[in-house]
Chain A
Amino acid sequence: MTVLSIIYVVLFYVAIIVLFGGIANKIMLYKRVPAPLKIPVTPAPLTTGGVVYRLFYEVVFFNSLFRGNKWTWIFGWIFHLSLLLAFFRHLRYLISPDVFFWPLINNMVVQSFGHYAGFTMLIGLAGLFARRILVDRVRYISSASDYLMLLLIMGIAGSGLMIVYASHTDIIQLKAFIMGLFLFDPQNLPADPILLAHITMVLFLAVIFPVSKLLHAPGLFFAPTRNQIDNPREKRHLSEWGAAIEAEDGRNN
């Protein structure tokens, strides 16, 4: 084991714990905090199925953003779709060929789409970055972290493309390293600078996820404006603390 590999093994474990622990912590917080009042933005669905459909539409097509701003929508949607495709492509470094869905991952379509996704991701990010600079309103609301976040993900996409097209790495050894992490059997990590840059940036992104605006991903599902059923007249909605107030003065009896 090289010193470098040991360092990265530690970094990986730390990042994974921070990422999943942090997100789980936030999700638990969002679940714990009550929504005392019915506030769905209407027209809103009348059934649970309707709410699932509404959220599905938001998550998959960014429906509200589409209505709000076409430029942000197209760049944002391209970026997120590319992210999904890149994720599928990377699965082959994370799973064993014995797993039943291996053929679903390790095929021409997923792998080549995953390649192109690197480019489209950069296009999407560049568009979002340009909007931040060029539109006076968006420039006004942007802080340093908003620009840096885009640059960080551009760096990840760029370094990923370089590994594919410019500076190949020992992909077999990389997979051995990753699988070693799962099996708690540390292996060496190829010491290519571009690969290390790629991985470092990804780990950094994972660490800042639970303490940054990246929380929009889980948060989307918890917005009462979107996830509540429009049935306040039919079904009484009462929070625990609302009920406590009632119990105190008995005026609702």
Chain B
Amino acid sequence: MTPTWQKIVAPLVIGVILLGLWEYAVRAAAIPHYILPGPLLILQTLVADWDTLSQSLWITLQITFMALAASVLIGGLLSILFTQSKWLELSLLPYAVILQVTPIVAIAPLIIIWVNDTLLSLLICAWIVAFFPILSNTILGLNSADHNLVDLFKLYGASRWQALRYLRLPAALPYFLAGLRISGGLALIGAVVAEFVAGSGGTASGLAFRILEAGYQLKIPRMFAALALVSGTGIVIFLLLSLISHLLLRRWHESAMRREN
């Protein structure tokens, strides 16, 4: 078992070395900051422009988390409905797949035209990108309850609701959480992509719009600062969801188990 500090320190060291090389290369070759700014300048910009950038970050976060919440709600609910009724699954699942495989950049303009409210249209786009992993994973999980346990429930005359509550839902939890971790990242990607397509800022402009705007104005350090915020947000979301998953599974699931050899 790798000690925890190694897991944190090792990638951190690599990161510092790479950033150092980057800073050194930019200075040594005297690359102009509108081509490639160094990490220190990006950090300075991030601090200087924090007021604007933090407002945009807040908008992007809102869209991301609302899309993720909608994915959990609708994806989870649909998967339960699908496993309760074969007919529903047969007739609706293909459309969920179509929604998933259609590139979001292709349908985002339509959604933005159809839905008047910009925030809502971005939310819908992000949701379309994010909900499928939760749906498909949870369906798989709900169907993977131990067959003998299913028989046991039958033997004691368990109702559908009891079988769902005491057997299928707990059995599906690890699968759902794996889907949630994927969906968390996808919700952010969906939110950013949709905003790129929407292109217009106004009052509700998120990080993607700041990146576009900075690009047009050749404020490349600001562009990188916004980019760093997007990446940072993605990492934090992933870590947060991993933590939730670990806390929920650590007592019983193999994936969260420490092994001593």
A and B interact: no
Q: Which residues of B does A touch, CB under 8 Å?
A: none
Q: Which residues of A does B touch, CB under 8 Å?
A: none
